[in-house]
Amino acid sequence: MEPAAPPPSPPPAAAAAAAAAPGSAGLVCAQGRNLRAVLCQRCGSRVLLPGAATFARRELLLPAMRKKAAAAAAGGGGDVLREHWLVRDMFSFENVGFTRDVGNVKFLVCADCEAGPIGWHCLDDKDSFYVALERVAHE
Task: Tell me which CATH code domain 28-68+77-138 carries.
Answer: 2.170.150.10
Q: How far is CA 122 from CA 32, 36, 102, 110, 130, in A?
A: 22, 25, 10, 18, 9
pLDDT exceeds 80 at position 130: yes
Confidence check: pLDDT of 93 > 60: yes
pLDDT tens by residue, 98-117: 999 999 999 999 999 999 99
Q: Contact at 8 Å (CB) between 80 and 65?
A: no
Strand pairing of 105-109 and 119-122? antiparallel
Q: Is residue 9 pLDDT above 80, yes or no?
A: no
Query: What local confidence, expressed as pLDDT, does residue 23 receive?
Result: 59
Q: How far apart are CA 3 and CA 55, in angstroms?
A: 39
120 vs 69, higher pLDDT? 120
In the structure, what pLDDT confidence band is assigned to residue 25 with cuts at 50, 70 and 90? confident
Where exactly are the structural domains of the chain? 28-68+77-138
DSSP secondary structure code for residue 2 in this structure: P
For the chain, the average pLDDT equals 83
Helix (H, G, I), strand (E, B) or coil at 16: helix
Please give the pLDDT value at position 68: 53
Q: What is the pLDDT of residue 6?
A: 43
Confidence check: pLDDT of 17 > 60: no
